[in-house]
A and B are shown apart, each in its own frame.
Chain A
């Protein structure tokens, strides 16, 4: 007769096996991202807001003024890391 520990060990082994399979094969994941239907009118609308945003940004001093492209990218990565840590923290 199997003891409680044996059952737990067997369940853990199954979990490990499933986890390894999940990590190894991206095909297991269902791709569910929806694609927005973009018609000419909405694309025109988006372009209008894009141009307006570019104009708005041009009117103020850039927070990245004087920084090289590499430094800007590093700074953006730091912002991403901080944001991510915050998100993970919130979800725990």
Chain B
């Protein structure tokens, strides 16, 4: 299973906002790395960085490096992002949707209701950490 985690899932998982289910989800994935792969792009890394102090960010990079290759934003075709802007998503959200499609991921895990309300329009599943955890069982 190929997964993209929105920045809010990382932030919740690290405990900046208490949401145990996000932490459990990451632990589950870390224990099943043979079947689940994480994709992450520069924008998500930058967003996480905004909410961590430098020492914590260093730890985040050490955590993510063995799991994933950070994709640069410019890899994602511009037109793919525009498609989601045309569907009504804000440019930055549209980029995350475009990135998820570009990677060919099956799931975008997010708590962002703007994605969750657009399930039908998207070529991938949009799940909250809780539903994602149930889905991966």
Q: State how many angstroms separate the Cβ of A66 from the closest Cβ of chain B.
A: 11
Complex: A26 Cα to B99 Cα, angstroms: 12
Q: Across the two chains, which residue of chain B brings its CB closest to A42? A: B66
**B104–A33 touching, CB < 8 Å:** yes
Q: Return chain A residues, CB-CB under 8 Å to B92.
A: 77, 80-81, 83-84
**A83–B43 touching, CB < 8 Å:** yes
**A72–B8 touching, CB < 8 Å:** yes
Q: State how many angstroms separate the Cβ of B109 from the closest Cβ of chain A.
A: 13
* Number of inter-chain CB pairs below 8 Å: 148
Residue in contact with B75 in the complex, picked from A33, A38, A70, CB distance below 8 Å: A33
**A36–B47 touching, CB < 8 Å:** no
**B39–A83 touching, CB < 8 Å:** no
Looking at chain B's contact residues, the main secondary structure is: helix
Tell me the count of chain B residues lying within 8 A, CB to CB, of chain A.
61
**Which residues of B are in contact with A by a Cβ distance under 8 Å?**
2, 7-8, 11, 13-17, 19, 23, 26-27, 30-31, 33-34, 37, 39, 43, 46-47, 50-53, 55-56, 59-60, 62-69, 71, 73, 75, 77, 79-80, 82-83, 86, 90-93, 95, 101-104, 111-114, 123
Q: What are 8 pairs between A and B in contact, CB < 8 Å? A: A26-B123, A29-B77, A38-B37, A42-B67, A46-B33, A49-B62, A64-B17, A67-B17
**Which residues of A are in contact with B by a Cβ distance under 8 Å?**
19, 22-23, 26, 29, 31-36, 38-40, 42-43, 45-47, 49-50, 52-54, 56-58, 60, 62-64, 67, 69-70, 72-73, 76-77, 79-81, 83-84, 87-88
